[in-house]
Amino acid sequence: MPPLLLSSAGPRPRPRPRPWASFLLATAFAALAGAAHGTPPEANASGVFLNTAGDVLTARHAVSDCRSLFALKDAQVAQARVIAESAELDVAVLRTTLTPYLHATLAADVRTPAPGSVGVFTEAYAVLQRMPDRAALLSNAMTVPGVEGLQLLSGVQPGASGSAVLGADGLLLGVVVERVAAAPHASGMVLSRAASAAGVAGGVTRVRAVPAARLRYFLDAHGIAYTQSREPQLGPQQSPAARASTLSVGVLCG
């Protein structure tokens, strides 16, 4: 992923500072200064809290080439670092100092695919923060039957890489990693914001998510703590959108 350029151009004083150090300082200053004024920077990608320690699950491509890395939650900005990753699955875990109010509960069973589409919820962190009437929204995407793994028909926008996919019961069914539109030339489009120029904004498209069963295997292999359950985390009329907003974390790559 190309870096998000936050430092300004122009003459540099002598002695000339090391470029990477200037970049990190500029990124940190922009993030922390924005948070101090109640306006955190826009997230490049999304993530979901995994445990009470504040570890965050996200898409690997969104964090693999970052010179600086931050996690955003409401008005909080915290430095983050990658502690586990899988190129095959395109997922990564970030260690942060954020304290989650709530963390995800992964679906514990290997579910038999439904014969038809099922309503689920997934959305980018930045969009969730501005979404009105979250508490009344039960779903905004549909599963695609008859395909391997977990695919959705969804209107998610750039910034949705790493977004949680929640079922109606509030369990984590997977995390979004890429766009897989039907047109051959459109397949493999990532959904992180820095790559949005290559994608197609707007409208419903097909996206791929890494299912919970494969996430559990990855987390177990790296010794990452998480919670799993077969029990519903929400009542029939409770909103997965509201739960997703609480679980969701913004990811800022510099």
Distance CA 64, CA 82 (A): 8
pLDDT score for 170: 96
Give the total residue count for the chain: 254
Q: Among 78, 45, 56, which Cα is nearest to 219's?
A: 56
Q: What is the mean pLDDT of residues 104-115?
A: 76
SS3 of residue 236 by DSSP: coil
Q: Which residue has the higher pLDDT, 85 or 34?
A: 85
- For residues 10 and 241, the answer to whether their CB atoms sit within 8 Å is no
The band of 230, judged by pLDDT with boundaries at 50, 70 and 90, is very high
Q: Which residue has the higher pLDDT, 176 or 199?
A: 176
Q: What is the mean pLDDT of residues 8-29?
A: 41
pLDDT score for 158: 81
Q: What is the mean pLDDT of residues 37-62?
A: 89
The band of 202, judged by pLDDT with boundaries at 50, 70 and 90, is low
Q: Among 139, 184, 195, 138, which Cα is nearest to 162's?
A: 195
Q: What is the mean pLDDT of residues 1-8?
A: 33
pLDDT at 236 over 50: yes
pLDDT score for 111: 58
The band of 192, judged by pLDDT with boundaries at 50, 70 and 90, is very low
pTM of the model: 0.79
Q: Which residue has the higher pLDDT, 181 or 27?
A: 181
pLDDT score for 38: 53
pLDDT score for 254: 86
Q: What is the mean pLDDT of residues 172-188?
A: 71
Q: In this structure, what token pair is assigned to residue 24?
A: 């990190």
Range scoring the smallest mean pLDDT among 123-127, 140-144, 169-173, 180-184 = 180-184
DSSP string across 30-56: HHHHHHHTT-PPPPSEEEEE-STT--E
